[in-house]
Structure 1
Amino acid sequence: MLLLRTDPLKPDADVIRFAAEVLKRGGIVAAPTETVYGLFTHAYSDGGCAKVFKAKERPPDNPLIVHVDSVEMAAQIAYIPEEIVDVLRRIWPGPITLVMKSRGAVSRCVTAGLDTVAVRAPAHPIPLAIIKELEAPIAGPSANKAGRPSPTTAEHVVEDLNGEVDVIIDGGPTFFGVESTIIDVTRKPPILLRPGPFTVEELEKYFGPVEIPPVARGLIETDVALAPGMKYKHYAPNTPLVIVHFDLSLAVETLRSKGLKVAVLCATGRCTNADVVIKMGDDLYEVAKNLYRSLRELDRFSVDIGVVPAVEETGIGLAIMNRLRKASGHREAFNLGQLLKYGLAQPVF
């Protein structure tokens, strides 16, 4: 495995050429995007795709996102509805993925055998440069073991995938810190499959009314993975985590009174004394950027349980709550009784 460092805004041409050559040979490359680090393969390579699934330990029915550098490249692999072509020219590159009907050009491994394909143009110089050098789309999920918190630094990738990736490109920390928004435009109205940095409020400016099903809020799981991040346990630390919807200080004091060692993940100014305090940020975009780092940090302390305050589900807050619900295994406490049910079910270290 090679770890190559480069400037994220002006990536080294030799690093980009080397990464493209690895992909041409059916290898896999981890690199940053503006959302999280991705684990990429040539989108037309069955063998490369198989390597991604093996390294990530990803279930084979969970599709990958195809990354392109233009609407024209996207049109080679998907049937783009005529009415959104101009919309895509305005919102790409950016942290938004569209599920569209597939032309069958990319590997069936990439689409998990579905007749749809998830496509986006990343707003980050490194993957865009790789795509241009390769003259072909690249496909991949986040560069972590399946179920673990997604990586927002190269160190996180090494932590999960050391020795299982041909090349890791270290371009520094990612910007948004949560995965792209995914919207299914094969339906009318379009359906939000995964919230992300491109908010519902922004979606509706470009696409009109958007359906937000319970699965997009992270309230339920689905039997069919129509897009990445929908079906399986995701983003989870090893330490039990509970989302708290009432007074945070009371929650922590109650758990500690029962002999539990408690970590609190502070968000948007909501914090309190605990055995361990992990500060995520004072505004929702800062919380999103630091969310996965905080979940990984939680596992570095020998605590019995982590608690995190619920945030308002508007703007990027919807994406944060989606990820927290999956990371917590849907442990949400609206009162002390529910909190104690979760807390006392956990073994004390």
Structure 2
Amino acid sequence: MKTKIIKIDKDNVDRALIIDAVNIIKNSGLVAFPTETVYGLGANGFDENAAKKIFAAKGRPEDNPLILHVYSVEQVRELVEEIPDIAKKCMEEFWPGPLTILLPKSNKVPNIITAGLDTVAIRMPENKIALELIKMSNVPIAAPSANISGRPSPTSAKHVIDDLMDKVDMIVDGGETGVGLESTVLDLSGDLPMILRPGGVTKEDLQKIIPNVTIDFAIIKEDANIIPKSPGQKYRHYAPKSEMLVFSGDIDKITDAIIAKAKEYMAIGKRVGIICTDETKEIYKDGLIISMGSRRNNETIAHNLFNTLRLFDEENVDIILAEGVEPSHLGIAIMNRMMKAAGGRIIKV
């Protein structure tokens, strides 16, 4: 397969350029496209054969559900049994945007999309290219992140090209994504509203509408026996090619621990990468050092995290030592991704 690459200005979307991508979607093909979170690998959400191509291209286990992307609330109605009032309020407040809502599915949604579960995950992306692609295709678009399964999610077209070139029909280059982390997944299918995956819409944001919303324990605990209700719950995700350790606790103790650990690894000939922040960058004297941004701005850290992991891949480091952040608000999502990338290896200091 030869992948076609097209560039589209996300602020001035040329509908004529999207037509080829629409035709690919309608003919059971795969299109990688930008959203405001990360790049997605899209296929017709009603087409079982197209969905199978997503799993094949990514090397993704078929028990890992896919998210359906829509361009309107009206489009949701054919995908679910009903839209409860609380879901309507969340859609009004957070759509379009980085919030995925889990609801009991209708019979129209293929089982391969939901991994055989009776719930379906749906969101309306904020990116204008994504919305236009979905609207012109006139079908919900199933789209996990456009990367090889388990690798850091793609926040630029270059990342998609690195992973999926000649494995998909088209890559739409719409520049860098904004949020940089996948959407928050909110389960509204049962009696207790629960966050299954943290993201750009935080627990604190949701509590303004849903005071009793909780966070699933799987977010902060590795468990191989979890039956995933949403993407990102069961398998190691976002992983760089090298080993990774995350350090959490007081920042002064974190920097001391990373300096000591870096010396240990370098003493045995290992090439060390250090993920730090602007406030600590000058403290480190050895290793390949990359800052994700200021510790006072988690939005910047979230935006830069996956790109930072890929930069270390390009430098062929043997071990990555990463500063954790305070696990509150958006920091919960950042630490969730770091924990997954490190395979659960967090050192508390």
Normalized against structure 2, the TM-score is what? 0.92
Is the contact made by 1:218 and 1:326 (CA closer than 8 Å) also made in structure 2?
Answer: no
TM-superposed CA distance for 1:25, in Å, is: 0.5
TM-superposed CA distance for 1:162, in Å, is: 0.7
Task: Determine the structure 1 residue equivalent to 2:288.
Answer: 276
Distance 1:195 1:213 in 2: 10
Greater mean deviation of Cα atoms: 174-183 or 252-261: 252-261
User: What aligned pairs does 1:27-42 form with structure 2 within 5 A after superposition?
Assistant: 27-42=29-44
Secondary structure of the equivalent of 1:97?
strand
- The change in CA–CA distance for 1:254 and 1:108 in structure 2 (over 3 A counts) is closer
Secondary structure of the equivalent of 2:101?
strand
Task: Determine the structure 2 residue equivalent to 1:338.
Answer: none
Distance 1:86 1:332 in 2: 37
User: What aligned pairs does 1:304-315 form with structure 2 within 5 A after superposition?
Assistant: 304-315=318-329
Task: Determine the structure 1 residue equivalent to 2:59.
Answer: 57
AA aligned to 2:152 is P
TM-superposed CA distance for 1:222, in Å, is: 4.8
Distance 2:31 2:306 in 1: 21
Secondary structure of the equivalent of 1:187?
coil
Task: Determine the structure 1 residue equivalent to 2:203.
Answer: 200
Where in structure 1 do 4 or more consecutive aligned residues deviate above 3 Å? Answer: 218-222
TM-superposed CA distance for 1:110, in Å, is: 1.1
Task: Determine the structure 1 residue equivalent to 2:163.
Answer: 160
Output one character per residue of 1:249-281: Cα deviation in whole Å (capped at 9) or x when no partner: 442234314514321101362332231001111
Task: Determine the structure 1 residue equivalent to 2:96.
Answer: 93
Distance 1:242 1:312 in 2: 16
Residues paired across the two proteins, number: 335
Normalized against structure 1, the TM-score is what? 0.92
Secondary structure of the equivalent of 2:315?
coil
AA aligned to 1:315 is H
TM-superposed CA distance for 1:221, in Å, is: 5.0
TM-superposed CA distance for 1:194, in Å, is: 0.1
Output one character per residue of 1:135-170: Cα deviation in whole Å (capped at 9) or x when no partner: 221111000000000000000001000100101000
Task: Determine the structure 1 residue equivalent to 2:14.
Answer: 12
TM-superposed CA distance for 1:248, in Å, is: 1.2
TM-superposed CA distance for 1:106, in Å, is: 2.1
User: What aligned pairs does 1:61-80 form with structure 2 within 5 A after superposition?
Assistant: 61-78=63-80, 79-80=82-83
Secondary structure of the equivalent of 2:152?
coil
Matched, 1:176 2:179: yes
Task: Determine the structure 2 residue equivalent to 1:347.
Answer: none
Task: Determine the structure 2 residue equivalent to 1:247.
Answer: 254
TM-superposed CA distance for 1:206, in Å, is: 1.6
Is the contact made by 1:62 and 1:228 (CA closer than 8 Å) also made in structure 2?
Answer: yes
Is the contact made by 1:240 and 1:306 (CA closer than 8 Å) also made in structure 2?
Answer: yes
- The change in CA–CA distance for 1:6 and 1:211 in structure 2 (over 3 A counts) is same
Is the contact made by 2:262 and 2:287 (CA closer than 8 Å) also made in structure 1?
Answer: no
Distance 2:223 2:177 in 1: 28
Distance 2:151 2:264 in 1: 30
Distance 2:336 2:154 in 1: 17
AA aligned to 1:238 is K
Secondary structure of the equivalent of 1:106?
coil
Gaps of 5+ in 1: 336-349
Output one character per residue of 1:59-113: Cα deviation in whole Å (capped at 9) or x when no partner: 0111100001111111110121134324312221110001100012122211111
Secondary structure of the equivalent of 2:88?
helix
Among 185, 190, 193, the alignment partner of 2:188 is 185
Among 334, 341, 345, the alignment partner of 1:320 is 334
Distance 2:259 2:25 in 1: 49
Distance 1:222 1:72 in 2: 36
Is the contact made by 2:24 and 2:169 (CA closer than 8 Å) also made in structure 1?
Answer: yes
Among 291, 315, 318, the alignment partner of 2:305 is 291
Distance 1:74 1:240 in 2: 41
Distance 1:117 1:4 in 2: 31
- The change in CA–CA distance for 1:163 and 1:5 in structure 2 (over 3 A counts) is same
Distance 1:73 1:52 in 2: 22
Matched, 1:143 2:142: no
Secondary structure of the equivalent of 1:215?
helix
Matched, 1:123 2:126: yes
TM-superposed CA distance for 1:3, in Å, is: 0.3
Gaps of 5+ in 2: none
